[in-house]
């Protein structure tokens, strides 16, 4: 069975998240999007843990389900911040648990290291290698995956994380790291150029890091599994071995908030080559530019552009459907006009991923979809939509051809 999974979700108890982020809304819009499996998000937060118990029921496969059967996986994210060898270290890690019993043991462990009630993504001063060792002592089925690995502030390979490799970060515990998460500002083709990924020491997965339930947030990045049945063990086996890991759905890296280098306050951004000419300095204020993912990949890459490891999973680069309608209709992403077109498309074609990935041009014509919108859907599928790259926390902006002069 094919499963499209988004396993990096937050709860309403995390900072900068929607107050209406709930299992009900995730299920509703997950079905509309075409996502088949979510992470529960923030399972260590005391209030969210209670909500999980009230609203979800765990089956014997380690899958939590709503009353109508929609599936979730035990998942959270933690922020580790500490000093090592005189350097700032800051990494976000995803943690997955095989069942509620083990999830509660993880909660007890994290509770012994700091407060759990102030944020859905708590901060601890634990070294990455020590966290992995301690969690594996609880249960080997616990999975740890570095999140959005190239973003500057908290990505393992990011310009400000303090690490240049998985080995440097995890030491002898690297043997327990089977995958890295690409994040919006990078895609697998960029990460394949890193030696540890090129050599097969870790695979690439992708999830949305969603802070709300809207369709342009959930599932914007996801992992496609092809497994015999939905179970925690089958999902983790696919991540660890590659068997059943069919591919990923990625936003174009330029769409992410940290693809280029720049200064948000100065409204300045540039690519890696220009940054080198500027010696990393902002031409407007003279301060250091926030170095983005493109630059960092070129700095760390050992393989040339276009390198693809043996048995690497395929990936699709797609803008969310709402973004295409913005280009088509020239309205805000959450506008009434945008929603009217979106809902009409969903009514005709069942869910968003069907439209983005599967529905043929002939079927779109047959359903009397406007030619300009059909063209955008096809160009999106072929990664032919131009994007003004995101930088320093600002999302990238999709552009029509006539808008190219803007960047």
- What does the pLDDT read at residue 402? 53
- Considering the domain architecture, whether residues 382 and 239 belong to the same structural domain is answered as no
Distances (CA, A) of 17 to 9, 41, 120, 177, 207: 10, 12, 10, 28, 16
Last residue of a domain, one of 255, 277, 293: 255
Q: What is the mean pLDDT of residues 20-42?
A: 98
375-395 residues labelled b (16+ CB within 10 A) or e (exposed):
ebbebbbeeebbbbbbbbebb
The model's pLDDT over 273-308, given as tens digits with 9 standing for 90+, comes to: 999 999 999 999 999 999 999 999 999 999 999 999
- Considering the domain architecture, whether residues 30 and 149 belong to the same structural domain is answered as yes
- Considering the domain architecture, whether residues 127 and 240 belong to the same structural domain is answered as yes
- What does the pLDDT read at residue 194? 98
- Considering the domain architecture, whether residues 54 and 198 belong to the same structural domain is answered as yes
Beta carbons within 8 Å of 302's beta carbon, 6+ residues apart:
193, 194, 195, 198
- Considering the domain architecture, whether residues 242 and 377 belong to the same structural domain is answered as no
- Considering the domain architecture, whether residues 234 and 351 belong to the same structural domain is answered as no
Of the candidates 83, 84, 57, 82, the one whose C-alpha atom is nearest the C-alpha of residue 71 is 57
Question: Is 275 contained in some domain?
Answer: no
- Considering the domain architecture, whether residues 33 and 175 belong to the same structural domain is answered as yes
- Considering the domain architecture, whether residues 212 and 327 belong to the same structural domain is answered as no
Q: What is the mean pLDDT of residues 87-111?
A: 97
Question: Is 58 contained in some domain?
Answer: yes
Last residue of a domain, one of 202, 236, 255: 255
The model's pLDDT over 126-141, given as tens digits with 9 standing for 90+, comes to: 999 999 999 999 999 9
**CB distance 73 to 37 below 8 Å:** yes
- Considering the domain architecture, whether residues 237 and 114 belong to the same structural domain is answered as yes
pLDDT band at residue 403 using 50, 70 and 90 as cut-offs: low
- What does the pLDDT read at residue 406? 46
Which residues pair with residue 92 across a beta bridge? 79
Domain count, the chain: 2
For the chain, give the percent of residues with pLDDT over 70: 99
- Considering the domain architecture, whether residues 138 and 60 belong to the same structural domain is answered as yes
- What does the pLDDT read at residue 162? 81
pLDDT at 123 over 50: yes
- Considering the domain architecture, whether residues 243 and 326 belong to the same structural domain is answered as no
Residue 65, domain CATH: 3.20.20.140
Question: Is 93 contained in some domain?
Answer: yes
The model's pLDDT over 163-191, given as tens digits with 9 standing for 90+, comes to: 999 999 999 999 999 999 999 999 999 99
pLDDT at 220 over 60: yes
Last residue of a domain, one of 240, 255, 270: 255
pLDDT at 263 over 80: yes
Question: Is 95 contained in some domain?
Answer: yes
**Domain hosting residue 117, numbered range:** 2-255
Distance CA 113, CA 106 (A): 11
- What does the pLDDT read at residue 183? 96
Question: Is 196 contained in some domain?
Answer: yes
Q: What is the mean pLDDT of residues 344-352?
A: 98
**CB distance 308 to 361 below 8 Å:** no
Instruction: Please give the angle made by the CA atoms of 259, 263 and 268, to the nearest 5 degrees.
Output: 85
pLDDT at 359 over 90: yes
Q: What is the pTM of this model?
A: 0.96
pLDDT at 404 over 60: no
- Considering the domain architecture, whether residues 251 and 347 belong to the same structural domain is answered as no
- What does the pLDDT read at residue 401? 72
- What does the pLDDT read at residue 165? 97
């Amino acid at each position: 069975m094919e499963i499209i999974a988004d396993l990096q979700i937050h709860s309403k108890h995390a900072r900068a998240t929607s107050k209406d982020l709930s299992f009900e809304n995730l299920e509703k819009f997950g079905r509309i999007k075409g996502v088949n499996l979510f992470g529960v998000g923030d399972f260590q937060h005391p209030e969210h843990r209670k909500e999980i118990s009230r609203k979800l029921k765990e089956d014997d496969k380690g899958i939590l389900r709503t009353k109508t059967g929609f599936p979730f996986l035990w998942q959270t994210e933690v922020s580790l911040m500490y000093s090592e060898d005189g350097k700032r270290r800051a990494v976000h890690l995803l943690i997955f648990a095989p069942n509620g019993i083990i999830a509660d043991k993880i909660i007890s462990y994290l509770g012994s290291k700091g407060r759990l009630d102030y944020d859905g993504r708590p901060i601890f001063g634990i070294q990455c290698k020590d966290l992995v060792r301690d969690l594996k002592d609880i249960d080997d089925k616990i999975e740890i995956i570095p999140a959005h690995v190239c973003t500057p502030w908290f990505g393992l390979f990011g310009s400000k994380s303090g690490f240049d490799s998985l080995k440097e970060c995890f030491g002898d515990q690297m043997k327990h790291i089977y995958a890295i998460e690409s994040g919006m500002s990078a895609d697998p083709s960029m990460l394949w150029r890193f030696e540890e990924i090129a050599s097969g020491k870790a695979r690439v997965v992708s999830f949305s890091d969603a802070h709300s339930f809207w369709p342009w947030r959930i599932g914007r990045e996801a992992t496609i599994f092809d497994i015999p049945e939905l179970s925690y063990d089958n999902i983790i086996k696919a991540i660890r071995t590659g068997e059943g890991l069919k591919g990923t759905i990625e936003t174009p890296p330029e769409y992410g908030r940290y693809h280029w280098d720049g200064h948000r306050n100065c409204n300045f951004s540039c690519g890696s080559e220009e940054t080198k000419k500027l010696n990393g300095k902002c031409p407007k204020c003279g301060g250091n530019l926030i170095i983005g993912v493109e630059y960092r990949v070129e700095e760390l890459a050992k393989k040339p552009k276009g390198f693809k490891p043996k048995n690497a999973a395929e990936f699709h680069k797609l803008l969310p459907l709402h973004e295409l309608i913005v280009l088509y209709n020239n309205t805000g992403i959450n506008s009434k006009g945008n929603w009217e077109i979106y809902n009409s498309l969903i009514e005709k074609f069942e869910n968003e991923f069907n439209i983005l990935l599967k529905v043929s041009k002939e079927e779109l014509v047959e359903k009397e979809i406007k030619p300009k919108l059909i063209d955008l859907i096809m160009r999106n599928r072929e990664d032919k939509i131009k994007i003004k790259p995101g930088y320093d926390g600002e999302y990238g902006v999709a552009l029509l051809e006539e808008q190219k002069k803007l960047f």
